[in-house]
């Protein structure tokens, strides 16, 4: 089973559960306050996932390590590439 099929299976299961609780084809007696909670639960899950994603990205940017040796090596490679292009007639 591919990852896409796995995610689609979970999404289908979640959607069918949400629809069955929201529209009550089984004549379930659900309190109106709980019905509102069930109705807005997908939106709140998406918002929670977005907040989690932003926090993970912010943490990883904050803890990102600088590598001065790699920066110097990259600058040397850029200078070598510029010199090579100048020799071939490219003007900067």
Domain definitions of the chain by residue range: 3-87
What integer pLDDT is reported at residue 63 of this predicted model?
93
Give one DSSP letter per residue of 16-58, joined into a string: HHHHHHHH-TT-----HHHHHHHHHHHHHHHHHHHHHHHHHHH
Q: Dihedral sign, CA of 6, 7, 8, 10?
A: positive
Task: Please write the tens of the pLDDT for every residue from 10-58.
Answer: 999 999 999 888 887 777 788 888 889 989 999 999 999 999 999 999 9
Exposed / middle / buried, residue 68 (Cβ in 10 Å: 0-12, 13-18, 19+):
exposed
């Amino acid at each position: 089973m591919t990852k896409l099929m796995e995610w689609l299976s979970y999404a289908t299961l979640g959607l069918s559960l949400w629809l069955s609780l929201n529209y009550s084809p089984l004549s379930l007696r659900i309190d109106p306050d709980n019905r509102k909670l069930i109705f807005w639960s997908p939106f709140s899950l998406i918002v929670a996932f977005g907040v989690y994603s932003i926090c993970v990205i912010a943490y990883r940017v904050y803890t990102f390590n600088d590598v001065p040796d790699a920066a110097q090596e990259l600058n040397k490679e850029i200078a070598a590439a510029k010199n090579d292009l100048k020799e071939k007639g490219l003007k900067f």
